[in-house]
Amino acid sequence: MKVLTITLNPTVDKSSEVANIKPEKKLRCAPPKYEPGGGGINVSRGLVRLGINSTALFTSGGRTGKLLEELLLKEKVDILPVNTQGETRENFTVVDTASNEQYRFGMPGEVVSNKEVNQIIETINSFSPFPEIVVISGSLPPEMDAAILRQIAAIAKQKNAKVVADTSGDALTAILEEGVYLLKPNLGELSRLTGIETLDNEVADQAAKKLIEEGKAQMIVVSMGPQGAYLVTADNCLHIPAPSVKKLSTVGAGDSMVSGMVSVLAKNGSPAQMACMGVACGTAATMNPGTGLFNVKDAERLYNWLIDKAVTIK
């Protein structure tokens, strides 16, 4: 199956290392590393590693936008940039090598004009042949109306595509007004969506099933960090435990999880296989330092361990 990922607020992730971060002191950092970033972009990067063909659609502006395009082409990602006047943002991550603590600085990005929003919609609507799976992931640029995600989801559904959503806040609320095929919230996002303030592992499956009954999604994979994930459908709930590994960084774990799930969807695998591959890729990403995604061999090894560990809850 062909996959289209959509990233409306992409970034170039810059990372470095320094010993003993202290205020008011000039810090001598290691040479910076530049990587493509942003939800859908990372999903496409992960899919390339897993041998799945995808196209990454994203906004691109200025010097940083050109760098982003170059970095993606080096990773053999099929790109479809929509040019904007505003400069593509940069994020910065630095690791204190003395403590192994990680400091992450996320920039907001620049405003996308109404004309540019219309160009995004037109580009998606005219994509041909239209993909079977559309992944909408990541944050929105400042001032962008979250209703654009509902519009994009509607276009995809009209063209018989399966919509996979991984976003948060107003963007998540807006896209669920249209409804999606697969949703990947964490416990905090699920709590916000359902209005259940004391949401925990014990009732997460019930909260997810409530959203399914309301037509918000057909399947929900609730990411629970060290506790693994719940796969919830209208009829079943599976718990997939998280393998115990040495964690070096959590950057990119969520996007890696989506990559793993979409790779199985694209191969018409079962929901259980999909969720296990998601947890495997997400966990594998935490084994790498900095802003790197998962190593395929790590993900495959963890998947083979997980596939027999999924437990039916209800």
pLDDT in tens, 101-123: 889 899 999 999 999 999 999 99
Residue 170: active-site member:
no
Give the largest Cα separation in the chain, rounded: 58
| Residue 313: Cβ within 10 Å count | 13
CA distance linking residue 68 with residue 65, whole number of Å: 5
Residue listed under structure tokens 């807006």 = 174
Residue listed under structure tokens 């018989």 = 160
Summarize the chain as % helix, strand, coil (round to 5).
Answer: 40, 25, 40
Q: What is the pTM of this model?
A: 0.94
Residue listed under structure tokens 């506790």 = 227
CA distance linking residue 240 with residue 296, whole number of Å: 19
Higher pLDDT, 165 or 93: 165
Has residue 291 got a pLDDT over 70? no
Name the token pair of 161: 């595509």
- Residue-level pLDDT at 224: 87
What are the Cα distances from residue 99, in Å, to 93, 106, 116? Answer: 15, 21, 44
- Residue-level pLDDT at 306: 94
| Mean pLDDT, residues 179-195 taken together | 93
- Residue-level pLDDT at 130: 96
- Residue-level pLDDT at 120: 98
Upstream peptide bond of 241 is cis (omega within 30 degrees of 0)? no
- Residue-level pLDDT at 313: 65
| Mean pLDDT, residues 254-263 taken together | 96
Per annotation, catalytic residue among 170, 255, 298, 308: 255
Q: How confident is the model at residue 89 (pLDDT cuts 50, 70, 90)?
A: very high
Of the chain, the percentage scoring pLDDT greater than 70 comes to: 99
Query: Residue 158 in contact with residue 197, Cβ under 8 Å?
Result: no
Query: Residue 59 in contact with residue 88, Cβ under 8 Å?
Result: yes
Has residue 290 got a pLDDT over 80? no
DSSP label at residue 225: G
